[in-house]
Amino acid sequence: MKKIVFAMVLASVTTVGAWSASAEETNPAIVHRQGIYKIMAGHMTAMKSILFLGFAAPADLNFHAQGVLSAFEHMGNSYPPGSDKGETKAKPEIWTQPDKVKQRATDAVTAAKALVAATTGTDKGATVAAFKTMGEKCKACHDDFRKE
């Protein structure tokens, strides 16, 4: 019981800390997309802990893969005109190269679907390969459209 209470308190403090750190940003598109990307990063980090760091929760892999896919499906139009105004790590090219952005998004969603499919099975090698591919698709978009 103490572990559960501690986890709940830690999650609350972390959430409040993250909210207050970004509370100055008022551009709703930026706030939305940063939230979605944080969700994706959390799911990918959790999967990393299971696949590579020995955390014994392989049944959770599909949950996290579904979370990544769901986050992509909820991105919507997170880069509308004017959403370059505010604290963003997006490069200007994301607004001037819509075809390339669309292709990167399509590639990422395809990889996320493959990751979900891989996590429904018991082949860890297939899941690891799908996870790495997902990471490569994320990196490709970051390389093209995210400031360091």
Tokens read off for 47: 């999967």
Which residue ranges make up each domain of the chain? 27-145
Residues 31-39 have a mean pLDDT of 94
Express each pLDDT in 86-139 by its tens digit: 999 999 999 999 999 999 999 999 999 999 999 999 999 999 999 999 999 999
Q: Which CATH number describes the domain made up of 27-145?
A: 1.20.120.10
Q: 95-103: long-range contacts at Cβ-Cβ below 8 A with a sequence spacing of 24 or more? A: 97/144, 97/145, 100/144, 101/141, 101/145
- The position carrying tokens 């799908």 is 130
The answer to whether the predicted template modeling score (pTM) of the entire model surpasses 0.75 is yes
